[in-house]
Amino acid sequence: METQKETEPICCPPFDPKPWDDQIFTWENKKFVRDKVFTIFYMPVNFGRVMKRLDKVFKKAGVAFQDSIALSDHTSKWNMDLYLSVDKDIPGIENTTFSGKFYSKVYEGPFKDTGKWCKDFEGLAKSKGFTITKEYMWYTTCPNCAKKYGKNYVVIVAKID
């Protein structure tokens, strides 16, 4: 992957894949806010705009974006639900929590490989005896920062039984 010039800004923090690669963890009432992103055949159209709007909401409410966790749930070809991890509830926006046992795996490469990653992930989870009840994608950096860092990490996070 081609890297950006050193003078170009970085808006996404560096991502360390080790704590998320092939890991099982438990969340108990982990706080998230939920918003929607318009997609065309699963490709996000207004992701950046939604993130900027949420950033303003977070700053106004004095809420921290926890661990930069932004989980995407592609509900159709035209919509993606976005869940951002927060440290407390925010009035006037949809707040939710995640609880249960989760499994995560980190992938690296172009977004066009998402289908391959999902197939690999599902096979890996099955080989470990997990039943996936809900699957999310975590795009750890924006495309510009992925170029800057020279890596495009994507984490698949699944709630498992």
Residue partners of 39: CB distance under 8 A and separation at least 6? 45, 74, 76, 77, 78, 79, 80
Nearest CA-CA partner of 32 in 72, 88, 81? 88
Which carries the bigger pLDDT value, residue 68 or residue 18?
Answer: 18
Q: What is the pLDDT of residues 131-161, one digit of tens each?
A: 999 999 999 998 889 999 999 999 999 999 9
Cα(37)–Cα(21) distance, rounded to whole angstroms?
26
**What CATH class has 25-160?**
alpha beta
Q: What is the pLDDT of residues 78-129, one digit of tens each?
A: 999 999 999 999 999 999 999 999 999 999 999 899 999 999 999 999 999 9
Domain boundaries, the chain: 25-160
* Residue 155: CB atoms within 10 Å: 22
Q: Which amino acid is at 27?
A: W
- Average pLDDT on 29-46 reads 94
pLDDT grade, residue 1 (50/70/90)? very low
pTM: 0.90
Residue 72 has pLDDT above 60, yes or no: yes
